[in-house]
Amino acid sequence: MLTHFSAANAAAVASVALVVSDRGDAGALVRARARGVPAIVLEQHSNADAILALLREHKIDLVVLAGWLRLVPAEVVQAFHGHMLNVHPSLLPAFGGAGMFGARVHAAVIASGARVSGATVHFLDEEFDRGAIAAQWPVPVYPADEPDDVAARVLRVEHLLLPLVTEAVAAGTLALSADGRVRGHLGRASAIGPARAERFHLAQTGDVVSDDPLPLSDDASTVANAAFSYDVARLFPH
């Protein structure tokens, strides 16, 4: 996220103003401080007043949860309704809920026999993993996979999907409407004009055989289905 919003086109839309963790040894705190971003260990993670005071002090407009495993107090969720996002390592509503995080999710996916998993970014509500879905990115699950294999595949797309959704919500091109439905579109918010809407595809061009993360293109219109198509062809051979 820090890298994404340091790029000129994304920085024109939003910036990372605060990084918070409930663990003092979190790597995100170190990376934030190295970039001059305030980084705080939040000990009162169930105290709504303390959390709201911290967010207001730093003039936060949009909250993004990435690896935050605690239930956010309802007062905070209500105060940031439509302005709080979470990422989950499965295609919700499957394999979500209290206690479903990390390796537990991937093990449950494999045990179920599912052949597709993925990442979900959703707007937060008062329950675990039940808010309106903003975007999803599927990845295949192969018969020989272990939880770590699925985890690595999902993490790669989480790192691509979450910043794109965050940028779109910050720009107002994607939003949670009053009727509870998500409306708008993804794509480079800074490149979208009033007469043109970009479509967000499942995967992007690059070395689909490599284990290296696929590089994010500066032009959302170049995003293609090559990697996902390759995986589907492997998963469902003729």
Active site residues: 88
Residues 6+ apart with CB under 8 A from 53: none
- 3-state SS string over 80-147? CCCCEEEEECCCCCCCCCCCCCCHHHHHHHHHHCCCEEEEEEEECCCCCCCCCEEEEEEEECCCCCCH
At which residue do the structure tokens 């309106």 appear? 132
Q: Which two structure tokens, joined as six digits, stand for 225?
A: 């289905």
Distance CA 155, CA 13 (A): 24
Indicate the residue type of 128. F
Angle in degrees, CA 151, 154, 158, rounded to 5 = 130
Classify residue 10 by its DSSP letter: H
Distance CA 28, CA 43 (A): 16
